[in-house]
Amino acid sequence: MITQSFYDEFEDTVCAVISMNQNFVIIGDFNVHVDDMSDAHGTRLRCLFDAYGLHQHVQSSTHDHGHTLDLVVTADTTLVFDLQVREMHKLSDHRCIDFDLPYSVMQKCTRTVITRNWQNFDTDIFINEVANSELVTTMSDDVNYLFDLYNTTLMTLIDKHAAQRRVMRRQQQCAPWYDAECHNVKREVRRLESIFRRRRFPRCHLEWRAAVSRHHQLLGSKQRSFWSGRVLESAGDSRAYGRHSRVS
């Protein structure tokens, strides 16, 4: 049974995904008859797709009893190639959906960073140990000594309660069209999302949705402009265009 919470949670998921980039695919059994124009749930889901500029690519029945239940959803700027709905020959009452995407798997770069374990940091214990340290009890009026004592005391206690550790982090490669304007709009999306999560006011939700929509449209515009420029630079030379594509 489709409930209101399904639409709320799905919309939150869509907002979170498209606020990051446009290279995504949402797939699965939605159990909604999106092919039935008279179905209330199908109409509502299609409206939600339209509101966020999403495209549903499956156009045939995906179940033995009919209707399109299994969906492949992307941004409307993403092309899906060779989509086929195949019979499962009694292995399942759902069809198997095959398709190709215009994405290549890029090798992830990693880097080593030094962080601290702040998750288990106990502020009360830390404050108590500072209060009982020589930094507080000393009677010295030597400025240089006090500065050194301040640094050594705090660093010793911080190392004790939040020890340093080395971790490996993957460096995500941004799309070549992702510039400072995209970054600033994304920050605004995150800010409004944080406000909505804290307050849960309908007005905050509408402002967050509007910001997500602006960010989505901006990414699409940047992407189209980037590739249009590459096509013009290539001047009809398919090899040159291919080189641009591999570099990007």
Residue 108 CA to residue 139 CA, distance in Å, equals 55
The CATH number linked to 52 is 3.60.10.10
The pLDDT value recorded for residue 134 is 93
Same domain, 92 and 36: yes
The pLDDT value recorded for residue 152 is 94
Q: How many domains does the chain have?
A: 3
171, 201, 225 - which closes a domain? 171
Same domain, 48 and 73: yes
Residue 219 · residue 22 · CB < 8 Å: yes
Same domain, 190 and 158: no
150, 171, 192 - which closes a domain? 171
Same domain, 9 and 61: yes
137, 171, 205 - which closes a domain? 171
Same domain, 74 and 130: no
* 8-state DSSP, 94: B
Query: Cα torsion for 100, 101, 107, 108, to the nearest 10°?
Result: -130
Average pLDDT per block of 10 residues along the chain, 248 residues long: 83 78 85 92 90 90 92 87 89 91 70 88 93 92 93 94 88 73 88 88 88 85 81 62 47
Same domain, 113 and 95: no
Same domain, 48 and 91: yes
Same domain, 89 and 143: no
User: Beta-carbon neighbour count of residue 226 at 10 Å?
Assistant: 17
Distances (CA, A) of 134 to 96, 150, 221: 70, 9, 60
Same domain, 39 and 63: yes
Residue 28 CA to residue 6 CA, distance in Å, equals 14
Q: Is the pTM of this model over 0.85?
A: no
The domain in which residue 157 lies consists of 109-171
Q: Which residues contact 212 (CB under 8 A, 6 or more apart)?
A: 15, 18, 19, 52, 189
CA 18, chain centre distance (Å):
7
Same domain, 204 and 149: no
Same domain, 82 and 126: no
The pLDDT value recorded for residue 241 is 46
Same domain, 93 and 115: no
Residue 246 CA to residue 248 CA, distance in Å, equals 5
